[in-house]
Structure 1
Amino acid sequence: MPRNDHKLPSSRSRGPSLAVRFYLIAFNALSAAGWAYVIYLALAVFRGQRATSSAYNFFKPLASYVPTSITEFLTPQPKTTNYFSTTLAYFLDPYIPATYESTFSTLGPVQSLAALEILHVLLGFVPSPLPTTVIQVSSRLILVWGIVERFPHTHSSPVYTTMILAWALTEVPRYAYYALSLAGCGVPAWLTWIRYSTFYVLYPIGAGSEALVMLSTIPEWSGGKWEAWSAEDWVKAGLVAIWVPGLWVMYSHMMRMRRKVLGVGKGQKLGSKPKDRLKAE
């Protein structure tokens, strides 16, 4: 699902300790750099180059520490798709290249790093709502490890490419914004505008691609074939069904945040300073 904002500690509140602040700055800076590298790897494929990620060689040894039950769950599944998904891929393939081979060994660790955001909420480092954070992070992890990694035919899917690019183009400004805000060195107006404006395009592309990637792993349903679906297929179909209302909730939230942060509405001009900027953020 699209990513929500977590609130930065207000200067009026006690705020995090110096050590926690340094940690959060490092976390956000590292996350921004990781997602920027994902963009680089994906664009290299668009340019016709075969970019490879060195992150694979670094993280591969860690796989030996993963419990056997988890590795069995991640065992590649046989190809299972439907007419709608194969037809969509047929029309998009000439325009959007497959980027899994170049990007996934970086995407996996970078997206998994976001699981620390749940810990940040639990420890009180950031005042974000726990349920929302858990839903946002877990939905991404399910897509990365429960869908893409388990179903090899998604690796050549053009909507995998649109999904990760929408994610990355959203996350780079988001993490950079938080890193600069926590560092107290001032956030450029252009970065603030990008952070609170590009969601108009990136959220629908990202959420739509997420739903289509998951949909492509569901067997054919026409002609009564849905009667042969497994329990997992029904769960995935249910998740696809809630993607649209989930997108609207996040979309509405970001529009409210944009009005607060950029000062749009109530007679204010775009870019004017809200009456209470810290409260808005």
Structure 2
Amino acid sequence: MAGTITSARRVYLTIYNWVVFYGWLQVLYRSLITLRQSGHQSVYAAVETPLQLAQSAAAVEILHSLIGLVRSPVSATLPQVSSRLYVTWGILYSFPEIRTHFLVSSLVISWSITEIIRYSFFGLKEAFGAAPGWLLWLRYSTFLALYPSGITSEVGLIYNALPYMVESGKYSLRMPNKWNFSFDYYYNAILILGIYVPGSPHMYGYMLGQRKKALSKAKRE
């Protein structure tokens, strides 16, 4: 019984990783082609659908962590996935005015390269029990540059969306209302920007620790 469950887990995670890998490959390919042919203003339109699908698929990784299907702790998975979902849906989808910003290009390229490496690494590990040494090194090294560029792009896009939040009043709930409750999407975004200040160094430090552990283990083997 235990062997059947383990096999089912490996098959599921193998399929999951390679399907999402393909989604991010589409994002990278379309963004680079569009950037070359039409400029950064057209990148979002070219990648919108695969970006939304690939990033939304990551939501199940929170469940994976919660039920112990993977080793990643929820404390690391939840903030990373939720922040990206927020930027994907709460910023880019919700405020079309910023879709032509040059930071969209740096965002999707940083995200897609990171995820192509990550999902192929775990896809190979689940399918064959191991991944090549060079892919292990990429998995735990490319974030040194891509994480800061991705975070900078996320913060920059949220910041640039602030005036449109105020102007449109989108997702805000004003008093008086039957629920006797108010919510301001603008101040919510300010709060999220504030969370990035301690959150980003914490996540970077966690990833540095994972890098040291993974590369040390690889050397011993």
- Fold match by TM threshold 0.5: yes
Counterpart of 1:253 (choices 192, 206, 209) is 206
Q: Equivalent residues in 2 for 1:156-195 (5 A)?
A: 156-195=100-139
SS, match of residue 273 in structure 1? helix
Q: Whose helix fraction is larger, Structure 1's or Structure 2's?
A: 2
Task: Please list, as runs of the form range in 1=range in 2, the aligned pairs for 1:41-190 lying within 5 A after superposition.
Answer: 41-48=30-37, 96-190=40-134
State the distance in 1 between where 2:78 and 2:55 align: 14
1:199-225: CA deviation from partner (whole Å, max 9, x where unpaired): 1110000001000110011129xxxxx
Deviation (angstroms), 1:176 = 0.8
Deviation at 1:16, TM superposition (A): 5.6
8 Å contact from structure 2 (residues 43, 105) kept in 1 = yes
Deviates more, 1:166-175 or 1:125-134: 125-134
* SS of equivalent to 1:36: helix
Once the two structures are superposed, residues 72-116 of structure 1 have per-residue CA deviations (whole angstroms, 9 ceiling, x without a partner) of xxxxxxxxxxxxxxxxxxxxxxx8444011001110011111111
Question: What is the one-letter code of the residue matched to 1:161?
Answer: S
Query: CA contact under 8 A between 1:98 and 1:161: conserved in structure 2?
Result: no
Asked whether the 8 Å contact 1:98–1:157 carries over to 2, the reply is no
Higher relative contact order (CA 8 A, sep 6+): 1
Give 5+ residue unaligned stretches, structure 2: 165-182
Quick one: which amino acid aligns to residue 26 of structure 1? I
Query: 1:185, CA displacement in angstroms?
Result: 4.9
Q: Specify which of 217, 222, 228 is matched with residue 161 of structure 2.
A: 217
Q: String of CA shifts for 1:50-93, please: whole Å, max 9, x gaps.
A: xxxxxxxxxxxxxxxxxxxxxxxxxxxxxxxxxxxxxxxxxxxx
Q: Distance in 2 between matches of 1:18 and 1:138?
A: 29
Q: What amino acid is aligned across from residue 84 of structure 2 in structure 1?
A: R
Q: How many residues align?
A: 202
Match of 1:10 in 2: none
Amino acid at match of 2:68: G
Task: Indicate the residue corresponding to 1:20 in structure 2.
Answer: 9
Q: Aligned partners of 1:251 and 1:176: how far apart in 2?
A: 21
- SS for the counterpart of 1:219 is helix
Question: What root-mean-square deviation, in Å, do the aligned CA atoms of Structure 1 and Structure 2 show?
Answer: 2.4
> Over alpha carbons, which structure has the higher Rg?
1
Aligned AA (2:187):
W
Distance 1:181 1:206 in 2: 26
Distance 1:258 1:24 in 2: 22
Per the normalisation by structure 2, the TM-score is 0.83
Q: Structure 1: which 5+ residue stretches go unaligned?
A: 1-13, 50-94, 221-229, 264-270
CA distance in 2, matches of 1:196, 1:243: 22
- Indicate the larger mover: 125-134 or 149-158: 125-134
After superposition, give the CA deviation of every residue in 1:136-156 in whole Å (9 maximum; x if it has no partner).
222111111111111011110
